[in-house]
Each structure stands twice: as structure tokens, then as C-alpha cells.
Structure 1
Amino acid sequence: MTSFPDPTWLVGCGNMAGAMVAGWHKAGVDLSSVTAIRPSATPVEGVRTVAMLPDGPPPAFVMLGFKPQKLDEVAPSLAPRITDSTLVVSLLAGVEAATLRQRFPTARAIVRAMPNLPVAQRRGVTALYSADGDKALAEVEALMTLLGVAPRVATEDHFSAIGAVAGSGPAYVARFVAALAAGGEGIGLDADLARLIATETLLGTAAMIAADPIDMTELARRVASPNGTTEAGLAVLDAPDGLAPLLARMLAAAIARGHILAAAARRG
């Protein structure tokens, strides 16, 4: 059975870290050495939960799961507990490895991880980056691959790009499903039925792609008959002001916000 180093601290355990815990539960991981630290002390199912950093031996593994804007609030009390045996994994969007190293100079290694919410279903994407060598990356990768795919990236620019696509992606997909359902309502469908159809269409299409990873253009071609209804709809999406430029602007906005967060973290 896979287990975490003893002791492991989850410093902050909101939606994303909580989704990861749920995924590890589904994978049968032993979480007995894990303590979640939340100011509210709101319980995290399956792990010990406390409001403050626990007493006792220093942590072997720390995962930072709070809001990135809280880094300079959390670091002063956490840093003295980090030793040269501690592996620090950061989920903090936009906070660069060099900034983390400044806050936690004694850490054995620092690894940035950018998961997305489907980790709860073990179908997530978790980008990994470290400037501290392959050993630490391999340790974190062994845990993250239990939650889905965990690609390593060579640069933090690539890390940010995966975050913009995969990390933010579930929110964008949710907007698309909601818009598709709203469109169904607009042409006369009951609201609940429109949502069901939109959701099942997403799930069914994803299952097809997972079973047979064909080119997306080819999949669209299989659906669209020449001069048919689907082709008419695709013409709207494929227009010069259609889906592709909209998504390009969306991703550029996410990347730009990441740069702002990184600059703010560097300034402290």
C-alpha cells in the first residue's frame, strides 16, 4: 500500500487539496501519517485535522495548499519547522520556485505541482516542476500519478501553460456545458433535460476520446454530415471571431494573471 512520509502536513486544505485527498482515498493510499492544518479546523475526511501547526517532530513532507496571497502570512511560522529532510510541494498558483526557496531556504527540495479538480476522480492532470533534481520529482510523481497523469516540465513557463489549460480547464468546461444547456433551453428544452443532455454529451464524448484518441478534426468530421445541421453550427465556431480566438484570449488572460501573482509573491 502506498503511504505518505511520516509526518506529512497539508498546510491549507481547501477545494484542490481536498480533491487530492479524495483521490488518494479512492486509490487506497494510507493517509495515517497525514495531518491537515486549517485555521478553521474544519475536518477533512480521512485525515487528522488541526487548526495550528502541530507539535512534535518536523515534517518530512509538506504540501502548501492555501491561497498564494497568504504565503507571507504562513511562511514565518512554517519556515522554522522546515528542515533539510523536508520535501515541500507547492500548489500555489503563480508562486515561482525561487520565491518558495527564499521563504523556505532549509527545505531538502521544493516541487511545484499544479493539479486540477478531476484528481478527485483519479482523472486529473498535475504538472510538476522542480529546480532541485529528479529524486524529489520522482517522489512526488509517484503520489501524483495515482490521481491521473503527472507530466514533468522543464521550465516554469511550461508549468504555467499547463496550469492555464488543465488547472483552469474544468472551470472553462463547466462554462461550456452551462452554455450548451442554456442554448438547449433557448430552443425550447426543459432546463433539467437540457442540463442532462449537455452533461451526458460531454461525458460520452470524453469516453469516446479516451477509448480511441483520434484527432479532434476527424471526430468532428464523423459527426458532421456535409451541408448538414452540425456543419452549420461548426461554421459559427470556426469563424474568424469564433471559438479558437476566444480560447486564445481566455488562456492569455489566465497566463497574465499568473505573471501578476508571481510578481506580487516576489515582492513579498
Structure 2
Amino acid sequence: MGERPIWLIGCGNMAGAMLDGWLASGMATQDFRVVRPSGKAAARDVPVQRELPGTLFGDAIVQIGFKPYHLAEEAPKLAPLIGPDTHIVSILAGVELATLRKAFPDAGSIVRAMPNTPVALNAGVVGLLAEDRNAVGADAVEALMGRLGLAEWLDYEALFNVVTALAGSGPAFLFRYIDAMARAGAALGLDPAQSERMAIATVEGAARLAARSDEDPGTLADRVASPGGSTRKGLDVLDADGALDALARATLEAATRRNEEMAEEAR
């Protein structure tokens, strides 16, 4: 294993996507160890074991990725293996730093991370929050997450719930929009499969253009729309009475409220 091994305690959909992204970025399979009660293979030839190691983790990054409600059950098993040289990364939705510190009092550093599923393609977003961004190990965690796409530190824990809604849940909201566009095209006469292909490619291309542009997305939208043209007519529908803004805000507010509720439950 590498100088600082990476343990994945739990490897479901999100942790699995992260592992795929790390391997795609060029990291070696021997850098990782996966603990998974089912023993099910994780990715390529990454070692998987059913039980926790019998010795201390030492100077390792230990990412916990089981269901948040399993923390009370799993923490007593993990805590004795975690010492001051061990760096904890939590992708448990809603579980706050104070709760994690209480569960792992001897850990050297603790970082919350909120990735989204495009990390599998190294095109994701990972929100990061640390007790101390200058703590030993925090830079290693930042570098590790940076391999997956855009990694952003947050200043306040309250913002973590918003990032979880925006970036963590965001792909699902965009998938729904793509689906709606595809179904609308089909309703107007396109072959459904063709309409779906076009909707996906349109969103992919527009996202790439927005990422590379020096202009903000709102300006880019206006540049596509000629006065009196068809694009402007469509934008008029989205812009009427702030309809799209209101819908997006209501969507993120609902997801953020649920994240806040999960944090309260975890406390």
C-alpha cells in the first residue's frame, strides 16, 4: 500500500463512484482497502475484506460511507482502531462534525465530504468541511478529493446542507430536467429515443461550454437568444414571473430542509 493508505469503510453507490474516479485518475488499486460486510467486489482488483483490521489504522485516511443511521452501531467498533495519526473523512449525509468528533474522539483530523455521482468520471463536485483546514492531513484529503473534480472548502457547517442539496442532489434534479426535455420533444413529434439522445447531448455540450466560458450562464443564455427569435420565446416562458428561479429555489430549499432534519436526527 502507499505511504498513506486509504480505507473505505462501506462502499455503496457513492463510495463506489468515488473509488471508480480515483482509479480512473491513475491511483493504484493497492492504495485502497475496502471493508464491506457482504464481501462483494468493489472495483477492479481493490482488496475487499468483511471485517475491520485487527490493528490500528495508523497514518491512514479512513473514509466512512455506511448509512448515517448505522453510526451509533459502527462507531464503537471503529473508534478503538483510530488514533491521532488517523484522518477521518465522512460522507455520511447530515452527520455533523461535533457528532463525528464525539464518535471518534482520538482521531487526528476529521473532514466532512459531500461528493456527487459524476465523481466516477472525474467530473464531480466535492464539498469539504474541516474542524481545522490547517490540521495535518487536511491537505492530503483535499488533494485526494481534487482528483474527482471540483473540490471546494466551506467556511460554515450550515452551508454544508445547501451544498448537499445543490451539488449532492443536483445531478438528480438535472436528470429530471433532461428527461422532461426529452419527453417534451417526443410529445411534439420526435422519436422518443432520438429526443432523449438529443436532450442528453445538448445538456452535456452546454455544460462544457459554460465550464469553459468566462461569462456567467445567464449571459450565455441571453447570447443564444436573438430578439424576437424562437429561443427568446422559450426563455420568456422560463423567465415569466421568475418561474424557473422560484422552482429551483423551492427544490433546493426542500432538499436543504431534509438535510437539516437528518442532522438533527443524527445528533
TM-score interval (norm. to shorter) = over 0.9
Instruction: Give the drift of 1:211.
Output: 2.4
Matching residue of 1:257: 258
Matching residue of 1:129: 129
Query: How big is each residue's C-alpha offset from its partner over 1:162-201, in whole Å with a ceiling of 9 and x where there is no partner?
Result: 2211111111110110110011111111111010010010
Instruction: Give the drift of 1:124.
Output: 1.2
Matching residue of 2:50: 51
Is the Cα–Cα contact under 8 Å of residues 22 and 147 in structure 2 kept in the other structure? yes
Query: How big is each residue's C-alpha offset from its partner over 1:115-146, in whole Å with a ceiling of 9 and x where there is no partner?
Result: 11111111111111111341332120011111
One-letter amino acid matched to 1:244: D
Farther-moved stretch of structure 1 (187-196 vs 133-142): 133-142
SS at match of 2:261: helix
Structure 1: 5+ residue stretches without partners:
none
**C-alpha distance in structure 1 between counterparts of 2:145 and 2:133, whole Å:** 17
Q: Which runs of 4+ in 1 moved over 6 A?
A: none
Is the Cα–Cα contact under 8 Å of residues 64 and 90 in structure 2 kept in the other structure? yes
Matching residue of 2:78: 78
One-letter amino acid matched to 2:174: V
TM-score calculated relative to the size of structure 2:
0.94
Distance 1:157 1:3, change over 3 A: farther
**C-alpha distance in structure 2 between counterparts of 1:220 and 1:258, whole Å:** 31
Q: How does 1:116-155 map to 2 (within 5 A)?
A: 116-135=116-135, 136-155=137-156
Instruction: Give the drift of 1:58.
Output: 2.6
**C-alpha distance in structure 1 between counterparts of 2:56 and 2:101, whole Å:** 22
**C-alpha distance in structure 1 between counterparts of 2:247 and 2:198, whole Å:** 24
Structure 2: 5+ residue stretches without partners:
none
Distance 1:238 1:34, change over 3 A: same
Aligned residues: 264
Q: How does 1:193-208 map to 2 (within 5 A)?
A: 193-208=194-209
Instruction: Give the drift of 1:11.
Output: 0.6
Query: How big is each residue's C-alpha offset from its partner over 1:13-61, in whole Å with a ceiling of 9 and x where there is no partner?
Result: 1111111111111111123142111121110113111222133443522
**C-alpha distance in structure 2 between counterparts of 1:4 and 1:229, whole Å:** 58
**C-alpha distance in structure 2 between counterparts of 1:181 and 1:241, whole Å:** 23
TM-score calculated relative to the size of structure 1:
0.93
**C-alpha distance in structure 2 between counterparts of 1:43 and 1:138, whole Å:** 29
One-letter amino acid matched to 2:7: W
SS at match of 1:106: coil
Farther-moved stretch of structure 1 (10-19 vs 37-46): 37-46
Is the Cα–Cα contact under 8 Å of residues 3 and 31 in structure 1 kept in the other structure? no
Is the Cα–Cα contact under 8 Å of residues 11 and 34 in structure 2 kept in the other structure? yes
Query: How big is each residue's C-alpha offset from its partner over 1:65-101, in whole Å with a ceiling of 9 and x where there is no partner?
Result: 1121221121121112111221100001111000000
SS at match of 1:150: strand
**C-alpha distance in structure 1 between counterparts of 2:3 and 2:211, whole Å:** 30
**C-alpha distance in structure 1 between counterparts of 2:227 and 2:151, whole Å:** 39
Task: Output the aligned Cα RMSD.
Answer: 1.6
